[in-house]
Structure 1
Amino acid sequence: MDCVGTAIVVAIVATLMLLGIGMVVNQLLRLRKWLNAQPPEPPPGEQAHPTPRSDLCPGLFPADSLISVMASRRGSALLVTDDGLPRGVSGAADPHFANVIGIFARLFPGRRFGGGALTVYIDGVPVVDVWTGWSDRAGTEPWTADTGAMVFSATKGVASTVIHRLADRGLLSYDDPVADYWPEFAANGKADITVRDVLRHRSGLSHLRGVTKAELMDHVLMEERLAAAPVDHLRGVQAYHALTYGWLLSGLARAVTGKGMRELIRQEIARPLNTDGLHLGRPPRGASTRAAQILIPQGKLRAPVFNFIAPKLAGLPFSGALGAMYFPGVISLIKGETEFLDGEVPAANGVVTGRGLAKMYAVLANDGRIDGKKYLSKELVRGLTGQPQRKWPDANMVVPMPFHLGYHESPVPGLLKGFGHVGLGGTLGWADPESGSAFGFVHNRLLTPLLFDMGSFAGLAGPLRNAIEAARHQGPLPVPQLGAPYARPARRKAVQATAASGGG
């Protein structure tokens, strides 16, 4: 590249950085205005219980940082009702998680902050099942136990689990070439790409050029496009396949079973786990799960320079994450929501409940068993925890994000043990086989997708880890049934005695 070309590229990158900084500053100002509002007075009969701000993962964010303020300022005098849960929070939990639930509640301080759910399992048994907030943009529809959030890239973990189910039954092998099952995939020099390569984001297919908005919603066409595509210069290197990963897995699964990923998620995961909370796209008529609206600014982003430059920059060989994530019209699809819900995008448009996501990962944390039944073989599940060969930054994301077989380790060292998959906005499904714990955290907020919503779980991670350790030490109290009354700490001995005697 000559000097002029280099200068143009530098100018383009600088422009995009300035645009991004401007967007972040704008969101910061909006957030500061919202957070400056004083919390409401407790209703009659309720009392305030302060929670120390030191619990907000001080090792990751300073106590006076804006992320900590988002999680604590509104709740400095937390409102607690007689049943032991913070005001506005429904569900049930082991009392060891009282602090965790308080922090969770403060992530959703008002109608403009949406809603979410958190479910935690220990040794295959639910010990936390709570939800709060609002499922619509207007703040008129309360979040319920059956509210499903679009979890974006956390969908990849669900799609990967489908592949593991097929492998466990001997329908495919990780070290076989994909083309052994999907012959069309051998085109353009891809005959030696293995199933393991795809699951580890090493197939060299993270960028797919020339895709239109309409084509994005045609999953069969996208599978065909990938089967015919040539590999890029990142073949053999871990480079996050932001959208193409899902169509690679669905094309492979379709070649093996003759079924699409939407049907397979129901057949291979939701039904065997006895949960309605795992769907690809819109839940079908008759399902108990109801999709929440995505909270994302609905106004048009007037950024003609970005709109002009982005598709050109995304088409360059070194475009990295932008090239892997940017497709024409994808933002408008998410804003419009209806069309995106109706499509099959196995890397991005899963609609799941906290319960459903946590239960799936509970299997992976519990040697493949749940509800007293085998879901996956112990040998296969233990193979999922093998160490990736490389912990260098991902070639597209430019952060350490080690993948093994469809799941990744924590990109923040020491934040979480185990593996799972995070989604845009900070939704997360996770399993830690060492502690036998798993959780699902879902919400509908994309108000600040570049920064703060992605960090929304960070303040929960440390307290959650401590609560799991304490509960395991003393013996966790299982939720007798999802949504049962919360047992306050003062009632712990009585509840334990009742559980030990077999009483209801």
Structure 2
Amino acid sequence: MKAQGICAQPFEAVRQAFEAMFDDPQERGAGLCVQVDGERVVDLWAGVADQEGGRPWTHDTLANTFCVVKPYVAVAILMLVEAGRLELDAPVARYWPEFARNGKARVSVRQVMNHTAGLPALRGPDHNPMMYDWEHMVRVLEDEPLWWEPGTDLGYGTTTFGWILGELIRRVDGRDPCAFIHEQMLDPHGLDVHLGVDETQFHRIARFDSATGRVGDPYSQALRTVVKSEPSHIATFAFTNPGMVPRRTSDPRWWAYRQPGVCGHATAHGLAGFYSALLAGHFIGPELLDEFTREHSHGMDRVWMRPMRYGLGCMLEQQVDPAATHAMGPDTFGHIGLGGPISFADPERRVSFGFVTTTSGGHSMIDPRPGRLSALVYAAL
């Protein structure tokens, strides 16, 4: 399938690989953007944005990104740190006193951001019916006990990350956290990323669905087995209570959902533009950017059930793991979303990368599709 958009001549192999993705009849629509020093060298899109195949993908088609937006709320927290309104090593309860209940008084802001807080998941009852009610979920978090002593183990805060950091922004700044992110970060830079899509823009959203036969790497397969067969496992609670699953993405409530850790809709150029702006110093200064991207935690993550490395709200390069490498430099950082979307940056090469898709794959980390594309980008550099 021929892609639309632009591709600088040195990156012609990237275009060819992007177009070759659509040799698979399950591949419906996708977008790819690569920026070097803030300049677009690749900005491609192809396919369709609906299930029936009648609505072509365009430059401004919005795709569901799931957790790709986690670094956005983390950077928002760092903006408040830089402004002197938050401290990384202060307890969350200093700003949100009710959070201290059930043994959480010593959980620090930094521990939430590097996934060592001991609160990566919510136990029963089923929270899916109330997940769209921010106030209700905040009360749930206040009453939730820890899974382990803060700072002693590693577990990805699938949904809890966004609620805790989002509520901190609300307590300190007064604004809804997604409003803060839009007003302070996205809108001033014209970034086509939406943390809660306005109803007038619903027509731009592509339909997201699973592909069959894409089982993923062994870690991903093991995680899927646990989630399906062990209802009391921490990973099962993290990914299902409430659940972030492809079928939810057809619900207009999801499109408008304002949860800054799990729900975003974006174009590929919007995602890449975020990291270009970040590298250019537009959100936080160099000291906090270094803090954001240096390793703060590593080890076997109890939720992902695989080795992970984290900065302060971003995932770090894993060159020893073929299914988790960005295929670029050793200092790359960014974040994946369930089923294939990804965005990251290579600070050494000043590269920002954004990929969105409507065809969900089976890898829990970096999908082979953007993995192949990023390797070709690196080769071209």
Superposition map of 1:234-249 within 5 A: 235-236=150-151, 237-249=153-165
| Alignment correspondent of 2:368 | 455
Q: 2: CA distance between counterparts of 1:106 and 1:338?
A: 32
> Closer, same or farther in 2 for the Cα pair 1:351/1:267, shift >3 Å?
same
CA contact (8 A) 1:111 1:138 kept: no
1:140 aligns to 2:54 (yes or no)? yes
> Based on CA coordinates, which of the two structures has the bigger radius of gyration?
1
Of 278, 286, 290, which residue of structure 2 is paired with 1:378?
286
> Closer, same or farther in 2 for the Cα pair 1:312/1:129, shift >3 Å?
closer
2:6 aligned counterpart, secondary structure: strand
Letter in 2 for 1:313: E
Of 194, 198, 219, which residue of structure 2 is paired with 1:279?
194
CA contact (8 A) 2:121 2:237 kept: yes
> Closer, same or farther in 2 for the Cα pair 1:453/1:141, shift >3 Å?
farther
1:138 aligned counterpart, secondary structure: coil
1:397 aligns to 2:304 (yes or no)? yes
| Cα shift at 1:159 | 2.1
Q: 2: CA distance between counterparts of 1:273 and 1:445?
A: 29
CA contact (8 A) 1:153 1:348 kept: yes
| Alignment correspondent of 2:88 | 174
| Cα shift at 1:330 | 5.2
| Cα shift at 1:158 | 2.2
Q: 2: CA distance between counterparts of 1:330 and 1:433?
A: 30
Superposition map of 1:10-409 within 5 A: 88-109=2-23, 112-209=26-123, 210-233=125-148, 235-236=150-151, 237-275=153-191, 277-285=192-200, 290-296=204-210, 313-314=230-231, 316=232, 319-327=233-241, 331=245, 334=248, 336-366=250-280, 368=281, 374-390=282-298, 392-409=299-316
Give aligned pairs, total.
359
Q: 2: CA distance between counterparts of 1:292 and 1:261?
A: 25
Could you give the per-residue CA deviations for residues 318-361 of structure 1, whole angstroms, max 9, x where no partner exists?
x1322211126654851543232232232222001111110111
CA contact (8 A) 1:294 1:337 kept: no
| Cα shift at 1:465 | 1.0
Q: 1: CA distance between counterparts of 2:68 and 2:274?
A: 12
CA contact (8 A) 1:154 1:421 kept: yes
CA RMSD of aligned residues (A): 2.6
> Closer, same or farther in 2 for the Cα pair 1:98/1:197, shift >3 Å?
same
TM-score, reference length from structure 2:
0.86
Could you give the per-residue CA deviations for residues 346-392 of structure 1, whole angstroms, max 9, x where no partner exists?
222200111111011112333x1xxxxx43212221222223353x2
Q: 2: CA distance between counterparts of 1:331 and 1:121?
A: 30
CA contact (8 A) 1:148 1:352 kept: yes
Q: 2: CA distance between counterparts of 1:451 and 1:250?
A: 24
Percent identity over the alignment is 31
Q: Could you list the runs of 5+ residues in structure 1 that have no partner in the other structure?
A: 1-86, 299-308, 369-373, 470-504
Q: Could you list the runs of 5+ residues in structure 2 that have no partner in the other structure?
A: 213-225
CA contact (8 A) 1:424 1:454 kept: no
| Cα shift at 1:284 | 4.4
**Stretch moving more, 137-146 or 161-170:** 161-170
Q: 2: CA distance between counterparts of 1:410 and 1:242?
A: 19
1:107 aligned counterpart, secondary structure: helix
Letter in 2 for 1:377: G
TM-score, reference length from structure 1:
0.66
1:464 aligns to 2:380 (yes or no)? no
Letter in 1 for 2:285: S
